[in-house]
Amino acid sequence: MKKTTQLYEGKAKKVFLTEDSNLVIQEFKDDATAFNNKKKGTIADKGVVNNAISCKLFTLLEHEGIHTHLVEKLSDRDMLCRHLDIIKVEVVVRNIAAGSLVKRYGFAEGTVLAKPIVEFYLKDDDLDDPLMNESHAVALGVATLEELSVLKNRAEAINAVLKKFFADRKLKLVDFKLEFGRHNGEILLGDEISPDTCRLWDLETNEKLDKDRFRFDLGGVEDAYSEVQRRVLELD
């Protein structure tokens, strides 16, 4: 399968059409952004790491009966995917208080939530991806109530699988972002699952092993991403 026309370029990936209209190739970049593209930089080999981790986790979820856009890993940076009509809703699942949850509601960072929180955000960079509820999403026409219910239930199921998987590898899944899309009448998980889209802390030390190291200039970004890759891929 070969790339043809570039369909889209985002902050972390490029998407290319292929000779099969049902399939696209997702290419992972080394570009790094934070704070809705206000901070920009590069993380060496981030695309390679995130592609490897995402392929592994999508395969895990497929085995658990959660359908994704992954078809196969093509190369270090390229993933063959089903072509999705992306639902413009970012779904965030929070297990431990961090980031905007701390800023908005005053939780102490690191507070373990009694029950995971599922949030919806409008996928719109120009508006800084605002938090929204189901009524907003329906009014904006980005999803139906039935679709939003599927997204919430699917996100909770994914969280259950990933929390255990990461815990077995001595990692806390603090929170993470998911994106979904429509494909031939079915809603599939898309985008990626990686240290770009997850907050991951070491289970014993709470060391941050994700993009927060880039966001807040903590240093050791490449080492953190590589350590997550090692645990995800090697500790089976």
pLDDT per residue as tens, the chain (236 positions): 899 999 999 999 999 999 999 999 999 999 999 987 789 999 999 999 999 999 999 999 999 999 999 999 999 999 999 999 999 999 999 999 999 999 999 999 999 999 999 999 999 999 999 999 999 999 999 999 999 999 999 999 999 999 999 999 999 999 999 999 999 999 999 999 999 999 999 999 999 999 999 999 999 999 999 999 999 998 66
Whose tokens are 């190369």? That residue is 75
Tokens of 158: 């994914």
pTM of the model: 0.96
Helix (H, G, I), strand (E, B) or coil at 52: helix
Q: CA 65, CA 75: separation in Å to the nearest integer? A: 25
Pairing state between β 70-73 and 78-82: antiparallel
What is the domain partition of the chain in residue ranges?
A: 6-82, 85-220
Please say whether the beta carbons of 121 and 92 come within 8 A: yes
Query: Are 155 and 118 within 8 A, CB to CB?
Result: yes
CA atoms within 13 A on the CB side of 158: 31
Instruction: Provide the residue count of the chain.
Output: 236
Residue range 6-82 forms a domain whose CATH class is alpha beta
**Residue 227 contacts by C-beta under 8 Å, 6 or more apart in sequence?**
209
CATH node for 85-220: 3.30.470.20
Give the per-residue pLDDT at 196: 97
